Amino acid sequence: MEFWQALAWTEAEQIVDVACIAEACGFDGVMTADHALYPRELVTPYPYSPDGRAPLDADSPYPDAWGLMTAIAARTTRLKLTCGVYVLPLRHPIEVAKMAATLALISNGRFMLGAGSGWMKEEFDVMGVDFASRGRRMDECIEIIRSLWTGGWTEYHGEFFDFPAITLQPPPPAPVPLLMGGAAPRALRRAAQVADGWIGTGNHPDEVPGVLAELQRLRAQAGRAQDPFYTLVGLSAPADIDTLRRLHGLGMSATVRYPFRYTLGERSSLADKRREMERYAESVIRHFR
C-alpha cells in the first residue's frame, strides 16, 4: 500500500520543503489542494460535514496547485503528485491539458490529475461559470483533455466547448492517470466509467469497504473491472495496521496522512512537521515496506 501526505492549509513558504521531507521519510506522494478564491459571503453548504460547515475560511492558504506541484517536481525525484481535487469544470480544458502535460513531462511521469466537479457555488458565480451544469461541463472537459494528451489533432463541438482542429505540443510522455474525486452517486459512476482511479473525501474506515465495493460494481457494469484502478482514500479516523492491511486487501491502493492543521494546529514549524512525518513513517509506513 502507498502513503501520501496532504499539503492542504500548510504554510505556503513551507510546502516545498515539507514535500522534500515527505520523500525522505518514505511517503509515496503528496497532495495539494485547490480553490480559486474565497467569497466574503459563503452560503453554499459543504457536502462532506454533518453541519455543512466548510473546513476553510478566508485565511486558509490555497496557493496555485500547478505552481506548487512544479516546484515540488523540481526538488524531488520519486514523489508522486496530485491535487485533491482540482475543480475542473471551473477552468478551460485546453489550459488544463497544457499544464498537465507539461507537469507530467518535467516530473518524468509522476503526476496524476485529481479532479472534481466542485461544491462552492460562489466560486463558479464569480468566475462566470454556470454551477448547475458543472457535471456535464466536466464530462466534456475530460473528453477534450484526454484527446489533447494524445498529441494528435483534436476538434470538439459540444454543449460548452467548440473549437476547430488543434494540437498541443509536447504531449505527456505517457498517459496521465485521471483520478476522480467526490462521494455522490454520479461522482462514483464517473470515476468507475471514465477515470483511472478515485480520490476519497475523507471516509471513516468502516465506510471504506462499502465504497470500494460500489466502485467495483460500477466498474464491472461499465466493462472495466479488470482495468487498473487507483484508490487514494483519506481516513477520517485513525486506523491500526491490521485495519489498513484489510482495507488494502479490499482494494484501497493508498491512504493520505492528515493535513498538519488537524494534528499541530493552525500554524506549526517545519521542525514540528518533520517530527510528525518521521513518527508516522516509523509507526505506520515501515510495516508495509
What separation in angstroms does the CA of 171 have from each of 72, 96, 151, 166, 186?
21, 12, 5, 13, 30
Q: What is the pLDDT of residue 157?
A: 98
Q: What is the pTM of this model?
A: 0.95
- Give the model confidence (pLDDT) of 221-245 as tens digits: 999 999 999 999 999 999 999 999 9
Q: What is the pLDDT of residue 7?
A: 97
What band does 144 get if pLDDT is binned at 50, 70 and 90? Answer: very high
Determine whether domain 2-288 maps to CATH 3.40.190.10: no
- Give the model confidence (pLDDT) of 35-63 as tens digits: 999 999 999 999 998 899 999 999 999 99
**CA nearest to 119, candidates 67, 61, 184:** 184
Please, are residues 66 and 99 in contact by the beta-carbon 8 Å criterion? yes
Cis status of the peptide bond prior to 85, with omega within 30 of 0? yes
Q: Where do the domains of the chain lie?
A: 2-288
The three cell numbers of residue 120 are 462552492
